[in-house]
């Protein structure tokens, strides 16, 4: 039995969220009551914070705000629910349930997130509970999909190495389960679970987190080199599977990556994780747990903008951190093993796994699954799920792998793919195939500019320049976020856009194609015309003068468009080299 | 009527002019002038009567009369009060009662009984006439051999049971032994002229009882009467300040919030009142009718000595949307189409289906006047003195291939624009009034039935009323149809509104309506009744008010653990105490 966790004191007034957590009785708050209030589709401010820990954000359709105000209606409050799917895995049964729920309670579409999770938008307050219960029937939950806890654990989806992938995927599930909050609040509020009577005063309900949980969100991802599709340097904890002789030996660990920042505040910045060593599989869970507890105890609980783990590490130094970790673990991490990353993007189409089963990676623009005019994507996937016996894997690039198709089933699946015109995206430019956009407007409350709804049309215009330069098949990462919080990991896009205001973006260049270097600001607060004008210079230049195999992100540094960002702490250094 | 220097504030010259003018004015002209003068002298000046009236001679024998009215929208009440004033001028001793207030024991002692009553819905008595109606038709009704009476009915010929309540009263009073002073008159929507004729006849018959005979005093203007220049006969042209469709895309409804300017009009009103709006017929509908009848739009017709084109007449003056029985009879349509066929169809359908042929003038002579449409006022005069707000639901439906829209609501929805000026008048509605500021109220409304409650709460907010208030509201969908949502939220937060219960019928598999919410809250609902709450119901009678009444009866019966009969008696008492009030349509 763990005693109540008492955190070391910090100087200053704790952030508002800390008080909300403290008062919440382990994430209960007044959610039960406020979800029932029939006069508003919203819930109170404190409950809005708490419901994130349950995997949901209260949002409203921002496109309708003005109109509704004129009509004397409150904003169209609705809930986004993000489902916890470690490694992006879903059975056909689960896929069909999500599909049905999206059409019954949601806005009729599914979003595959950049963290390999299902996300449903547009769920009305009165339907949230029913949704949670339906999801529970197919063994899915949304616990800790958002909030100041460890979020959905990501995992590489290259399924060709079937045995290793399965093993590593299972570790992502174990890490996720291990770091789940233990409070019964989720069961009580959504699943009509029995209320746990009289929480004992001395016993700790949350042996890892304590009643204040973490100071800020926390993210973990696992990669299997040479693919860095999970962008492990962007994670609070990056886990790199070390495979030798087709055996999983263990994992290299990185700590302190993170994307978010605040416009105009140079004290905030994106950072890449630092490699700290190697652990065996048996050491993985305890290692992640102890890392989490260090952030719990030392993360900044006064200033939320500086509360992410990356700032804790940068403040105390990596050597201090390693020492603290060794102290808590009781053993030292081994030296990191050799590994090599090539890329972050997905490879599309049919591939055969080593066990003889087939996998089809489907290109899904912006991760949005719906029936488009002339492209019945959602229907097609539903029909596939009705016959598919393997699993689905949502990729970190918002695409979908229809996985583990037996050779005998392949023909059937292919006929459905053909029938519904589902696409591996091969006819698209390599730029589009390597694009990521966050949701942004109209539902995200943080959005300052469009992302998912706009990036496709911007790419169409960039494609003209690429085609003229003969670069249609040149892979370049392009990422767009509507705000600086970084859901699309735009700070490690070879071309990155971060929203500043309607139609205006900060434009970043120079990240590494394999995710190992951040980009650098190139132009501030620019509109589409300026973006295209700049690319009309840089892309033909790249086409003409690139070296053999040189990626766009490397070229723009060599050609002095931007300086290389060598560490998050110099991300904001203005470009000193002028062309 | 002769003015003199000594009995008026005028100079001799003025009196000469006035005495030349005034006797030659028609009643309508006088009313208008009185109102005009009153309105134009309103600001800061003494409220002197516009015309001072000469004393009339005392009659030989005192005549007594009781006027009872049964009124839903206030027209019957207004006429009753007006008649009483005029009879008093002729020294008839008159008492005026709303039927609900009339002490039935007195009935035996009444010499002359005048009844002015409207008819509600499908031939039912208006709310404040129900108890008297039942009394008169019940076992306790007395013999009335000495009674002289007459009945004036107000109604709408578009209902087949036209003026049924008036007919019932007439028949029953006759059965009980009463003798008619003058025959009953049933008025259509445009009631003024017929009502006035009936009254003149009644007055003559009464005065003959005293021996005064035909020397009836002229219509007069009382110095205490509050008059504005504008009336049903002389509507005010109010500017449209705002027009908002309150429903979001995806709704089955279109509900318009319309704000009209009253600035400078001198018009005021009380929460519970309605406004009447004179609409215009849809341009395309008029066009289609003319085409169907092969009448040239520019053909001239004469209506009440005024010459205008048939197109103008059909647009602004005549009703073309309702197939009333009298209209069909006048047109000689044979066989008479069934009620079910007529329901919702209009003159165009009739012309096409029955091969009706008419020239322009015959058409103009046959159709009844385009009646004004009444809307419950949705704002408080005290809170917004220069404005009046209404909440208008667009009526629309399809029969076979054709799409129909309500005359007024369709016009408001598709043609009315901000800045337009539209003819309106205030329709007082004294039977739908807030109780004292410290008394609790329960308001039950569905759809546009919410309108008067917005006026109530605005008023209570403005006056800082301390009484509790509980609002029930029903519509189809929370997201698209929650009329005035943010206002209710604000009133709840500030405490002007104590409690609100909502029912959105189509947000779940089973339909939930306001009556279900009443039953869910049975205990609290009954407690409110016991602490003196007044119940207000506003909205559709057939779709809502009946079910709500059944729910309230069930609540009373269950909470009192009593019989249905007792529960009815309880509700009856509430009606008597004016604590069960309905504004239904």
On whether the CB atoms of residues A512 and A492 are closer than 8 A, the answer is yes
- Catalytic, A146? Answer no
Per-residue model confidence (pLDDT) at position B218: 47
- Higher pLDDT: B47 or A476? It is A476
Whether residues B248 and A71 touch (CB distance < 8 A) is answered with yes
Distance from CA of B552 to the nearest CA of A (A): 22
Task: Based on the residue annotation, tell me whether A217 is a catalytic residue of this protein.
Answer: yes
pLDDT at A198: 53
Per the CB < 8 Å rule, is A73 touching B482? Answer: yes
User: Pick from B247, B489, B501: which is nearest to A40 by CB?
Assistant: B489
Instruction: Indicate yes or no: CB of B487 within 8 angstroms of CB of A72.
Output: yes
Nearest CA in chain A to B481: A73
Closest chain B residue by Cα to residue A60 = B479
Q: In this complex, do B485 and A74 lie within 8 Å of one another by their Cβ atoms?
A: yes
A308 counts as catalytic: no
Residue among B246, B488, B507 whose CB faces A71 most closely: B246
Chain A interface includes B451 (CB < 8 A): no
Mean confidence (pLDDT) of chain A: 95
Mean pLDDT of A249-253: 98
- Of B465, B274, B270, give the one whose Cα is nearest residue B380: B270
Return the structure tokens found at B421. 């000026």
Does A73 reach chain B within 8 Å, measured CB to CB?
yes
B164 touches chain A (CB under 8 A): no
Quick check: is A444 catalytic? yes
Answer whether A512's CB lies under 8 Å from A553's CB.
yes
For chain B, say whether A124 makes contact (Cβ under 8 Å).
yes
pLDDT of residue B31: 62
Mean pLDDT of A401-407: 95
| Residue B138, token pair as written in the block | 């019940």
User: Per-residue pLDDT tens for A156-202?
Assistant: 997 788 899 999 999 999 999 999 999 999 999 999 987 655 555 66
* Interval A196-241: pLDDT, tens: 555 556 678 999 999 999 999 999 999 999 999 999 999 999 999 9
Confidence band of A562 (pLDDT split at 50, 70, 90): very high
**Distance of alpha carbon B106 from alpha carbon A155, whole angstroms:** 91
Cβ separation B489–A38 shorter than 8 A: no
* Inter-chain touch B246–A68, beta carbons under 8 Å: no
Tokens representing residue A87 in the block? 């490694």
DSSP letter, residue A203: B
3-state secondary structure of A170: helix
Asked if A124 and B478 come within 8 Å (Cβ–Cβ), the reply is: yes
Distance from CA of B481 to the nearest CA of A (A): 9
Using a CB–CB cutoff of 8 Å, tell me whether A67 touches chain B. yes
CB-based contact (8 Å) between B478 and chain A?
yes
Helix (H, G, I), strand (E, B) or coil at B474: strand
Give A460's pLDDT tier (boundaries 50, 70, 90).
very high
Among chain A residues, CA nearest to B473: A39
| Residue from A73, A76, A104 to probe the interface with B (highest B Cβ count within 10 Å) | A73
Question: Using a CB-CB distance cutoff of 8 angstroms, which residues of chain A are in contact with residue B488?
Answer: 39
Whether A448 has a pLDDT exceeding 50, the answer reads yes
Asked if the Cβ–Cβ distance from B479 to A71 is below 8 Å, we say: no
> What gap in Å lies between CA A96 and CA A88, rounded to an integer?
15
Which residues on B lie below 8 Å from A39 (Cβ)? 485, 488-489, 492, 500, 502
- CA count, 13 A, side-chain hemisphere, B413: 19
- When pLDDT is averaged across residues A65-90 and rounded to a whole number, the result is 96
Q: Out of A64-73, A116-125, A570-579, B239-248, which region has the weakest mean confidence (pLDDT)?
A: A570-579
The vertex-B481 CA angle with B480 and B485, nearest 5°, equals 100
* Helix, strand or coil, per DSSP, at residue B69: strand
Catalytic residue among A115, A310, A382, A483: A483
Q: How far is B486 from chain A (nearest CA, A)?
A: 6
Other Cβ atoms within 10 Å of B261 Cβ, number: 17
- Residue A76 Cα, gap to closest chain B Cα (Å): 7
**Chain A nearest-CA residue for B504:** A38
- Chain B neighbors of A72, CB-CB under 8 A: 244, 246, 257, 483-487
Q: What is the pLDDT of residue A194?
A: 73
Which of chain B's residues have a Cβ under 8 Å away from the Cβ of A126?
478, 507-508
- Tell me what pLDDT residue B426 has: 95
Active-site hit among A28, A125, A216, A219: A219
Whether residues B486 and A73 touch (CB distance < 8 A) is answered with yes
Chain B residue at shortest CA distance from A68? B248
**B319 closest CA partner among B360, B391, B367:** B367
Give me the residue label for tokens 């036209």: B162
Q: Do the Cβ atoms of A39 and B487 come within 8 Å?
A: no
- A200 neighbors A277 (Cβ within 8 angstroms): no
Chain B CB contacts of A67 below 8 Å: 248
Say if A40 is an interface residue toward chain B (CB within 8 Å). Answer: yes
Looking at the predicted structure, is the pLDDT value of residue A414 above 60?
A: yes
**How many other CB atoms are found less than 10 A from the CB of residue B79?**
24
Residues of A numbered 243-262 whose beta carbons fall under 8 angstroms of chain B's beta carbons: which are they? none
- Catalytic-role residue among A52, A308, A343, A438: A438
- Residues in B closer than 8 angstroms to A125, CB to CB, are none
Q: How close, in Å, is residue A103 to chain B by CA atoms?
A: 15
Q: Is B292 on the interface with A (CB under 8 A)?
A: no
Q: Give the per-residue pLDDT at B100.
A: 86
pLDDT at B219: 46
Q: Which of A400, A377, A463 is nearest to A428 (CA)?
A: A463
Q: From the first residue on, what is the mean pLDDT of each consecutive set of 10 residues in chain B (585 residues)? A: 60 73 71 57 45 47 90 86 90 90 87 93 85 88 91 89 93 93 91 90 86 51 52 94 96 97 94 96 96 96 94 96 91 87 93 91 95 96 95 96 95 96 94 96 97 98 96 97 97 97 95 97 98 96 92 97 96 94 90
Residue A158: what pLDDT?
78
8-state DSSP, B99: G
Residues of A within 8 A of B501 (CB-CB) are 38
DSSP class per residue in B22-63: GGGS-HHHHHHHHHHHHHHTTTTS----SS-----PPPSS-E
The token pair at A145 is 């999909």
| Among candidates B245, B486, B502 on the partner chain, residue whose Cβ is nearest the Cβ of A38 | B502
Mutate to test the interface with B, among A34, A36, A39 (most CBs of B within 10 A): A39
Tell me whether B383 touches chain A (CB under 8 Å).
no
CB contacts < 8 A (A, B)? 46
Quick count: other Cβ atoms within 10 Å of Cβ B226? 9
Q: How many CA within 13 A on the CB side of residue A564?
A: 12
- Catalytic residue flag (residue A504): no
Three-state DSSP at B77 gives helix
Nearest to A70 among B244, B482, B485 (CB): B244
């Amino acid at each position: 039995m763990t005693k109540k966790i008492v955190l070391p004191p910090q100087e200053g007034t704790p952030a508002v969220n800390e008080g909300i957590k403290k008062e919440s009785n382990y994430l209960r708050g007044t959610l039960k009551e406020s979800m029932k209030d029939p006069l508003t589709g919203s819930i109170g401010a404190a409950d809005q914070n708490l419901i994130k820990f349950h995997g949901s954000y209260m949002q409203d359709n921002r496109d309708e705000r003005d109109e509704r105000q004129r009509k004397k209606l409150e904003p169209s409050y609705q809930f986004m629910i993000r489902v916890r799917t470690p490694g992006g895995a879903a059975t056909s049964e689960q896929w069909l349930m999500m599909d049905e729920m999206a059409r019954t309670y949601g806005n009729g579409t599914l979003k595959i997130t950049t963290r390999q999770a299902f996300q449903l938008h547009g769920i009305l307050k009165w339907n949230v509970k029913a949704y949670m219960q339906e999801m529970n029937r197919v063994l899915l939950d949304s616990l800790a999909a958002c909030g100041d806890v460890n979020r959905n654990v990501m995992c590489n989806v290259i399924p060709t190495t079937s045995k290793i992938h399965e093993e590593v995927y299972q570790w992502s599930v174990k890490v996720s389960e291990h770091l789940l909050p233990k409070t019964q609040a989720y069961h009580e509020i959504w699943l009509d679970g029995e209320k746990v009577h009289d929480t004992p005063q001395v016993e700790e309900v949350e042996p890892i987190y304590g009643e204040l949980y973490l100071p800020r969100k926390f993210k973990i991802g696992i990669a299997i080199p040479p693919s860095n599709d999970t962008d492990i340097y962007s994670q609070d904890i990056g886990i790199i599977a070390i495979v030798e002789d087709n055996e999983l030996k263990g994992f290299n660990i990185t700590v302190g990556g993170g994307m978010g920042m605040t416009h105009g505040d140079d004290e905030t910045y994106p950072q890449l994780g630092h490699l700290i060593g190697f652990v065996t599989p048996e050491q993985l869970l305890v290692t992640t747990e102890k890392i989490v507890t260090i952030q719990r105890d030392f993360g900044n609980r006064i200033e939320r903008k500086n509360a992410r783990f990356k700032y804790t590490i940068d403040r105390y130094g990596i050597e201090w951190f390693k020492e603290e970790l060794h102290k808590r673990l009781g053993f030292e991490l081994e030296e990191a093993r050799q590994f090599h990353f090539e890329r972050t993007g997905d490879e599309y189409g049919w591939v055969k796994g080593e066990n003889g089963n087939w996998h089809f990676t489907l290109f899904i623009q912006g991760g949005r699954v719906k029936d488009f005019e002339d492209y019945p994507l959602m229907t097609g996937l539903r029909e596939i799920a009705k016959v598919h016996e393997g699993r689905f894997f949502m990729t970190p690039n918002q695409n979908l792998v229809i996985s583990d198709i037996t050779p005998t089933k392949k023909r059937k699946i292919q006929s459905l793919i053909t029938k519904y015109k589902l696409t591996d995206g091969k006819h698209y430019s390599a730029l589009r195939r390597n694009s990521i956009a966050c949701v942004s407007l109209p539902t995200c409350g943080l959005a300052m500019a469009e992302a998912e709804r706009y990036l496709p049309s911007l790419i169409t215009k960039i494609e003209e320049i690429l085609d003229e330069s003969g670069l249609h098949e040149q892979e370049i990462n392009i990422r767009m976020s509507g705000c600086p919080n970084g859901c699309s990991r735009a700070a490690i896009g070879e071309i990155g856009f971060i929203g500043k205001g309607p139609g205006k973006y900060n434009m970043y260049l120079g990240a590494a194609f394999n995710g190992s270097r951040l980009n650098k600001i190139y132009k501030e607060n620019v509109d589409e015309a300026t973006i295209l004008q700049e690319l009309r210079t840089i892309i033909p230049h790249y086409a003409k003068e690139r070296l053999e195999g040189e990626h766009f992100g490397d070229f723009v540094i060599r050609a002095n468009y931007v300086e290389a960002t060598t560490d998050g702490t110099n991300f904001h250094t203005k470009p000193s080299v002028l062309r | 009527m002769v003015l003199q220097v000594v009995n008026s504030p005028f100079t001799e010259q003025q009196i000469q002019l006035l005495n030349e003018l005034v006797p030659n004015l028609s009643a309508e002209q006088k009313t208008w002038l009185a109102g005009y003068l009153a309105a134009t002298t309103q600001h800061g000046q003494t409220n002197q009567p516009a015309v001072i009236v000469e004393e009339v001679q005392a009659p030989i024998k005192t005549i007594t009369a009781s006027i009872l009215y049964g009124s839903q929208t206030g027209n019957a009440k207004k006429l009753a009060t007006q008649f009483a004033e005029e009879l008093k001028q002729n020294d008839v001793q008159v008492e005026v009662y709303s039927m609900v207030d009339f002490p039935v024991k007195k009935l035996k002692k009444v010499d002359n009984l005048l009844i002015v009553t409207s008819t509600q819905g499908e031939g039912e008595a208006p709310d404040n006439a129900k108890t008297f109606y039942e009394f008169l038709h019940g076992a306790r009704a007395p013999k009335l051999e000495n009674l002289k009476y007459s009945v004036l009915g107000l109604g709408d010929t578009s209902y087949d049971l036209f003026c049924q309540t008036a007919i019932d009263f007439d028949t029953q009073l006759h059965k009980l032994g009463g003798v008619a002073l003058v025959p009953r008159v049933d008025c259509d929507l445009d009631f003024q002229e017929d009502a006035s004729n009936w009254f003149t006849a009644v007055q003559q018959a009464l005065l003959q009882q005293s021996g005064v005979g035909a020397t009836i005093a002229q219509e007069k203007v009382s110095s205490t009467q509050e008059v504005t220049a504008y009336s049903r006969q002389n509507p005010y042209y109010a500017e449209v300040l705002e027009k908002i469709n309150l429903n979001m895309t995806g709704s089955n409804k279109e509900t318009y919030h319309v704000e009209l300017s009253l600035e400078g009009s001198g018009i005021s009103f009380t929460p519970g009142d309605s406004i009447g709006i004179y609409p215009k017929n849809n341009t395309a509908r008029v066009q289609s009718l003319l085409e169907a009848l092969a009448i040239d739009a520019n053909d001239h017709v004469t209506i009440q000595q005024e010459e205008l084109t048939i197109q103008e007449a059909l647009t602004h003056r005549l009703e073309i949307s309702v197939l009333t029985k009298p209209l069909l009879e006048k047109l000689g349509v044979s066989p008479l189409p069934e009620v079910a066929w007529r329901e919702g169809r209009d003159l165009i359908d009739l012309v096409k289906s029955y091969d009706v042929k008419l020239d322009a003038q015959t058409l103009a002579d046959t159709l009844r006047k385009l009646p004004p449409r009444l809307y419950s006022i949705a704002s408080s005069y005290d809170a917004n003195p220069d404005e009046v707000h209404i909440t208008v639901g667009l009526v629309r439906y399809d029969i076979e291939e054709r799409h129909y829209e309500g005359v007024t609501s369709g016009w408001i929805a598709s043609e009315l624009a901000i800045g337009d000026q539209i003819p309106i008048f205030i329709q007082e509605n004294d039977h739908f009034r807030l109780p004292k500021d410290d008394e609790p109220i329960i308001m039950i409304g569905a759809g546009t039935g919410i309108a008067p409650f917005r006026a109530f709460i605005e008023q209570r907010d403005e006056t800082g009323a301390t009484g509790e208030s509980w609002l029930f509201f029903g519509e189809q969908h929370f997201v698209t149809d929650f009329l005035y949502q943010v206002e209710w939220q604000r009133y709840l937060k500030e405490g002007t509104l104590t409690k609100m219960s909502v029912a959105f019928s189509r947000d779940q598999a089973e339909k939930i309506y306001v009556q279900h919410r009443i039953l869910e809250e049975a205990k609290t609902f009954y407690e409110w009744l016991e602490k003196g709450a007044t119940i207000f119901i506003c909205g559709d009678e057939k779709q809502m008010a009946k079910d709500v009444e059944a729910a309230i009866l069930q609540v009373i019966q269950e909470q009192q653990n009593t019989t249905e009969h007792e529960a009815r008696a309880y509700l009856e008492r509430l009606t008597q105490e004016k604590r069960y009030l309905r504004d239904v349509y």
